């Protein structure tokens, strides 16, 4: 993506928007957020992956690479359409803390309410629904059957289903399609409403010159419709169980590495199929987003292969990925949308060469910039090319405030000297200013860092469970003072 002008944006997960229903949605607060971005002189709104989540609630472990998260469907909009009534919404416990998501309550209650809306709807008669079915035919039926089957098998992942349907024997597939027809229609209704509401919101943003930056994980989850529906595209044994899984090797952050557990693509099989699954995936995402950030982009060049039986990532090995071939397919699929390559980690020369060939920008993260002296490649004075995107931190990093508080003294001192600020309460704003002043064509700041929040607002701490993905911005937090601060930075550094 060769950006045409200097720009700035904010990373704000949809889930983190305020709402009275336990999680952010595509409702009025999302429209207010777009208006606030315009007032703040911003050009982009970056979101986290918007797929339906499973156990652990991570948007990077989605039940589908194509489907949207039903939690984001705005219930007030359904009420205005006559599909729900106020009593049905007010009698539900959506959680008592406006600053946190209670995923267990959402799981118990959200689908029950959405089922009532589906029963009141005549969506199957709508022309827009028929168009949606046509546009989503590559993935929708598989996804709806998968979700209906999960519901039928007590929400267990497909590896634990009955053997005939686990192996997708044709007779079993047809039997369950008939048996679970009503449930399949419910999940189709949810997708229809998700896409309908998102497309309306995205159009509103586009009319106001706010582009949407989406985020997609390189790999799919083990518990996903994609793996179940397309087993030949993954490295599985004859029983369709993975023989190897994804991760990264031991490094300075972890002596055992990270065993993510995602299934690995069979790139040879994908090549024989002309990478059609990837083409369809990127085509679908290009309809959702103006810019698509590919998480763990370096796995396209070489990926880390861990034996499935290994308990840690120590036993893995690097294997060559598809490289330029896949990038060419992605370029054909995305039309006018653009790409950001998340190239963090151990960078081999082939990664830099591919980014140069494609013109896709890589990332610079200031959270990693101050711990190794003036030669650190993430320090702005070392940026050699404006075609990059600079972040203060990502969803996996601590907030800048908490990062500073927990730095070793020598790192903290170097940071303060670099940004010429020595008051701890001004550090986050100082780092933000440095990023805006850099030559990078695009700046993306986490909303938590714009608000100067501490560690309580961290979105995700990798390799932990039970406390992640729950943070929400409280009503009124993004106030006029914050808007004025950002607008001033955009004007001063030519990003408006």
Confidence of residue 4 (pLDDT cuts 50, 70, 90): low
Residues of the chain with pLDDT > 70, as a percent, come to 99
342 is catalytic: yes
| Among 74, 215, 342, 343, the one annotated catalytic | 342
In order of 148, 396, 425, 446, the CA distances from 433 in angstroms are 49, 21, 14, 14
Give me the sheet containing 211-216, strands edge to edge: 338-341, 291-294, 211-216, 44-46, 7-11, 442-446, 388-391, 362-365
295 is catalytic: yes
Q: In sequence order, which residues have a C-beta less than 8 Å from that of residue 156 and are 6 or more positions away?
A: 150
Tell me what pLDDT residue 347 has: 79
CB environment 8-46: b (16+ within 10 A), e (fewer): bbbbbbbbbbbbebbbbbbbebbeebbebbbebbbbbbb
Please give the Cα distance from 66 to 281 (Å, whole number): 7
Residues of the chain with pLDDT > 90, as a percent, come to 94
Please give the Cα distance from 312 to 397 (Å, whole number): 22
User: Which one-letter DSSP state was computed for residue 233?
Assistant: G
- Residue 338, phi then psi, degrees to nearest 5: -120, 175
CB environment 391-419: b (16+ within 10 A), e (fewer): bbbbbbbbbbbbbbeebeeebbebbbebb
Q: Which of 37-51, 123-137, 254-268, 424-438 bottoms out in mean pLDDT, i.e. has the lowest?
A: 254-268
Tell me what pLDDT residue 348 has: 87
Q: What is the rounded average pLDDT of the residues 466-481?
A: 96
Tell me the H-state helices in 208-248: 225-229
Please give the Cα distance from 215 to 233 (Å, whole number): 22
| Among 29, 74, 215, 295, the one annotated catalytic | 295
SS3 45: strand
Q: Which domains does the chain possess?
A: 7-492 (3.20.20.80)
Confidence of residue 2 (pLDDT cuts 50, 70, 90): very low
Q: In sequence order, which residues have a C-beta less than 8 Å from that of residue 202 and are 6 or more positions away?
A: 212, 288
The distance from CA 151 to its chain's CA centroid, rounded to whole angstroms, is 24
SS3 366: helix
Tell me what pLDDT residue 421 has: 96
Please give the Cα distance from 368 to 117 (Å, whole number): 47
Place of tokens 């590919």: 294
396 is catalytic: yes
Compute the mean pLDDT over every residue in the chain, rounded to the nearest whole number. 96
Q: Write out pLDDT tens, residues 68-77.
A: 999 999 999 9
**What are the beta bridge partners of residue 305?**
246, 317
Tell me what pLDDT residue 208 has: 98
Strand 211-216 with 44-46, pairing: parallel
Q: Write out pLDDT tens, residues 222-281.
A: 999 999 999 999 999 999 999 999 999 988 767 899 899 999 999 999 999 999 999 999
- Catalogue the E-assigned strands of 22-104: 44-46
Tell me what pLDDT residue 3 has: 45
Q: Which two tokens stand for residue 204?
A: 């509103």
| Among 315, 328, 350, 396, the one annotated catalytic | 396
Q: What is the rounded average pLDDT of the residues 9-29?
A: 97
Supply the pTM of this predicted model.
0.96
């Amino acid at each position: 993506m060769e950006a045409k002008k200097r720009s700035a944006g904010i990373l704000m997960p949809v889930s983190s928007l305020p709402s009275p229903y336990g999680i952010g949605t595509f409702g009025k607060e999302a429209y207010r957020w777009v208006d606030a971005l315009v007032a703040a002189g911003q050009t982009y709104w970056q979101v986290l992956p918007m797929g339906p989540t499973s156990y652990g609630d991570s948007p990077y472990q989605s039940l589908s690479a194509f489907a949207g998260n039903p939690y984001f469907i705005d219930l007030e909009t359904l009420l205005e359409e006559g599909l729900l009534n106020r009593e049905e919404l007010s009698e539900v416990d959506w959680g008592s803390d406006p600053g946190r998501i209670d995923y267990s309550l959402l799981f118990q209650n959200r689908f029950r309410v959405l089922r009532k809306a589906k029963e009141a709807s005549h969506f199957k008669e709508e022309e827009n629904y028929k168009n949606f079915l046509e546009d989503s035919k590559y993935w929708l039926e598989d996804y709806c059957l998968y979700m209906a089957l999960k519901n039928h098998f007590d929400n267990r992942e497909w590896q634990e289903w009955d053997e005939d349907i686990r192996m997708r024997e044709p007779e079993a597939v047809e039997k369950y399609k008939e048996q679970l027809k009503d449930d399949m229609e419910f999940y189709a209704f949810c997708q229809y409403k998700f896409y309908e509401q998102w497309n309306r919101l995205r159009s509103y943003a586009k009319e106001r010159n706010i582009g949407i930056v989406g985020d997609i994980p390189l790999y799919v989850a083990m518990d996903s419709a994609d793996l179940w529906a397309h087993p030949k595209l993954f490295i599985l044994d004859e029983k369709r169980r993975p023989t190897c899984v994804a991760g990264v090797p031991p490094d300075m952050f972890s002596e055992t590495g990270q065993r993510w557990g995602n299934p690995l693509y069979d790139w040879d099989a994908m090549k024989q199929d002309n990478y059609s699954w990837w083409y369809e995936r990127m085509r679908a995402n290009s309809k959702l987003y103006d810019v698509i950030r590919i998480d763990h982009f370096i796995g396209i060049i070489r990926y880390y292969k861990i034996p499935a039986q290994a308990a840690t990532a120590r036993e893995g090995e690097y294997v060559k990925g598809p490289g330029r071939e896949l990038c060419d397919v992605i370029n054909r699929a995305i039309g006018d949308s653009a790409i950001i390559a998340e190239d963090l980690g151990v960078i081999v020369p082939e990664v830099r060469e591919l980014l140069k060939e494609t013109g896709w920008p890589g990332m610079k993260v200031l959270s990693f910039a101050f711990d190794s002296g003036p030669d650190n490649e993430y320090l702005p004075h070392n940026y050699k090319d404006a075609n990059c995107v600079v972040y203060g931190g990502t969803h996996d990093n601590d907030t800048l405030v908490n990062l500073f508080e927990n730095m070793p003294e020598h790192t903290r001192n170097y940071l303060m000297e670099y940004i010429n600020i020595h008051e701890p309460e001004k550090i986050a704003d100082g780092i933000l200013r440095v990023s805006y002043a850099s030559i990078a064509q695009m700046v993306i700041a986490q909303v938590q860092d714009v608000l100067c929040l501490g560690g309580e607002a961290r979105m995700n701490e990798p390799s932990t469970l039970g406390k992640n993905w729950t943070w929400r911005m409280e009503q009124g937090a993004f106030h006029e003072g914050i808007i004025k601060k950002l607008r001033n930075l955009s004007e001063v550094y030519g990003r408006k």
